[in-house]
């Protein structure tokens, strides 16, 4: 679960605006919906502007950014441990223990370390784990790793009661960590429980990868999409929804579109005459 301090989380509601809590206490539960005070015959609220659906988490507090980086590192490392534990051979355990010491080396101070410090630790760990896995089991093992991570994700990622919008908001928060540009579909306010969609118009992971490569980080995969699409799809399924995505490249650079849809319930068959 997220280790961001209570009250320091700026999550979005199903309509892409900041969610409210049911009360003002420190342990208030996020409702994931707008709360509108009705005063007499006050006019109905005006439709949401497109700007409120775009880059919703740009003002995410630094503490929440750091917490999400730590959660993502926990999901990835625990997922790989889970994957290795399920394999019948212990041939690679010594190498894995050595790699873990690299992943968790020189961690930022939990009280003074900034989100950029935790981003560096996560990206280094992700690169190390990708190299370890692909070198020993091939690129096809990324799908199994993504599934193992999703099993961890199912337990540690909170449910906010927004239905299909929950996993899509998680994608938006991850996109925000890199400074990507993204926007929710304008139907999130009415359809978010059963269907939610997000378009990343500029994926800044590509920018960060290039910066890391120039600084000496060894990258295993030619494209971040090779792993990312598997991981996000598995996370959506782990939360009980059907994922779909498409990749795109245009004037704004690399991007993608994601949808999460509630599975259709089988219709009840009419009972026959007895």
Instruction: Indicate whether 42 belongs to any domain.
Output: no
Instruction: Indicate whether 169 belongs to any domain.
Output: yes
What is the maximum alpha-carbon separation in the chain?
A: 75
CA distances from 237 to 76, 160, 166, 194 (A): 17, 16, 12, 14
Per-residue pLDDT tens over the stretch 26-40: 333 333 333 222 333
Would you call 250 helix, strand, or coil by DSSP? strand
Q: What is the mean pLDDT of residues 89-99?
A: 84
Number of domains in the chain: 1
Rounded Cα–Cα distance for residues 26 and 10 (Å): 14
Instruction: Indicate whether 12 belongs to any domain.
Output: no
Instruction: Indicate whether 163 belongs to any domain.
Output: yes
Here the tokens at position 267 are 């219709």
- H or E segment to which residue 85 belongs: helix 62-85
Q: Give the model's confidence band at 272: pLDDT under 50 very low, under 70 low, under 90 confident, else very high.
A: low
The C-alpha R_g of the chain, in whole angstroms, comes to 20
- H or E segment to which residue 245 belongs: strand 242-250
Here the tokens at position 132 are 């370890």
Q: Give the model's confidence band at 139: pLDDT under 50 very low, under 70 low, under 90 confident, else very high.
A: very high
Instruction: Indicate whether 86 belongs to any domain.
Output: yes
Q: What is the mean pLDDT of residues 163-185?
A: 95
Instruction: Indicate whether 209 belongs to any domain.
Output: yes
Instruction: Indicate whether 257 belongs to any domain.
Output: yes
CA 110 to chain centre: 22
Partnered with residue 233 across adjacent β-strands are none
Per-residue pLDDT tens over the stretch 180-238: 999 999 766 666 689 999 999 999 999 998 888 888 888 899 999 999 999 999 999 99
Instruction: Indicate whether 2 belongs to any domain.
Output: no
Q: Which of 178, 179, 180, 154 is nearest to 167 (CA)?
A: 154
Which of 59-73, 127-141, 185-199, 202-216 is least confident?
185-199
Range of the domain at 254: 62-261
* DSSP summary character for residue 135: H
* 188 in Cβ contact with 15 (< 8 Å): yes
Domain of 118: which CATH number?
Answer: 3.90.1520
- H or E segment to which residue 202 belongs: strand 195-202
């Amino acid at each position: 679960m997220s280790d961001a301090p209570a009250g320091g989380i700026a999550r979005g509601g199903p309509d892409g605006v900041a969610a409210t809590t049911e009360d003002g206490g420190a342990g208030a539960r996020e409702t994931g919906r707008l709360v509108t005070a009705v005063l007499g015959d006050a006019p109905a609220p005006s439709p949401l502007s497109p700007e409120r659906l775009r880059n919703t988490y740009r003002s995410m507090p630094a503490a929440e950014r750091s917490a999400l980086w730590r959660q993502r590192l926990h999901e990835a490392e625990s997922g790989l441990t889970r994957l290795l534990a399920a394999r019948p051979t212990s041939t690679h355990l010594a190498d894995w223990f050595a790699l873990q010491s690299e992943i968790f080396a020189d961690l930022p101070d939990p009280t003074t370390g900034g989100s950029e410090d935790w981003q560096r630790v996560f990206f280094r760990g992700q690169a190390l784990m990708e190299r370890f896995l692909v070198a020993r089991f091939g690129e096809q093992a990324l799908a199994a790793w993504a599934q193992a991570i999703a099993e961890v994700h199912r337990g540690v990622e909170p449910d906010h009661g927004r239905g299909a919008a929950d996993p899509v908001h998680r994608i938006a928060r991850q996109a925000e960590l890199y400074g990507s540009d993204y926007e929710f579909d304008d139907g999130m306010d009415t359809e978010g429980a059963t269907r939610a969609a997000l378009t990343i118009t500029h994926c800044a992971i590509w920018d960060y990868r290039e910066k890391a490569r120039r600084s000496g980080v060894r990258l295993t995969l030619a494209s971040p999409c090779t792993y990312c699409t598997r991981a996000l799809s598995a996370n959506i399924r782990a939360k009980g929804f059907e994922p779909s995505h498409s990749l795109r490249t245009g004037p704004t650079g690399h991007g993608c579109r994601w949808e999460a849809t509630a599975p259709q319930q089988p219709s009840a068959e009419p009972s026959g005459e007895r």
